[in-house]
Amino acid sequence: MTEKIAITPKTHTTPPAKFSHGVKKGNILQVAGQVGFLPAVEGQPPTPAGPTLRDQTLQTLANVKSVLEEGGATWDDVMMIRVYLTDVDYFAEMNAIYNQYFEEQGLSGPPSARTTVYVGLPAGLLIEIDALAVLDS
């Protein structure tokens, strides 16, 4: 049986509950929901990247990418992305930011599948993103 490995980049804080920022088993890497917190500073609470959707979306994508990289994956390995927004009015703006971000990533193949839903998040947070990657064996 393949071992399950927890993935936590050094830039991330310890999760507030019993979960990992990512978990890898065999060639599957699931990135847990990431939010727009700036890289962790020891002894300080997590800090959002900024008050705007743009600030938080770009930092959230950077946080997902760091978990992917820690687990040996890239955006090209991602099969599914789920985006959680706190307000339906953010959808068009988030799509514009998301599209520009992925245009700049130089993907070698088609983009991943994506779902967007609307949720409640802790005060000050506007977006959360998770991803599922399948690595070459």
For residue 28, list its beta bridge partners.
25, 134
The pLDDT tens digits for 61-104 are: 999 999 999 999 999 999 999 999 999 999 999 999 999 999 99
- pLDDT band at residue 15 using 50, 70 and 90 as cut-offs: confident
Q: Which two tokens stand for residue 122?
A: 């802790």
Averaged pLDDT, 124-135: 97
Name 21's Cβ contacts closer than 8 Å, sequence gap at least 6. 6, 7, 8, 9, 12, 15, 31, 32, 34, 67
Please determine, for residue 121, whether its predicted confidence score (pLDDT) is greater than 80. Answer: yes
Looking only at the bridges linking them, the beta strands covering 113-118 and 78-85 are parallel
Query: What is the pLDDT at residue 18?
Result: 85
Under a CB-based contact definition with an 8 Å cutoff, are residues 28 and 133 in contact?
yes
- Helix (H) or strand (E) run with residue 81 in it: strand 78-85
Instruction: Please report which confidence band the pLDDT of residue 12 belongs to, taking 50, 70 and 90 as the band edges.
Output: confident
- Specify the pLDDT at position 51: 96
**Spatial distance between the Cα atoms of 127 and 25, rounded to a whole number of angstroms:** 27
What's the CA gap between 114 and 97, in Å, rounded?
A: 15
Mean pLDDT taken over the chain: 93
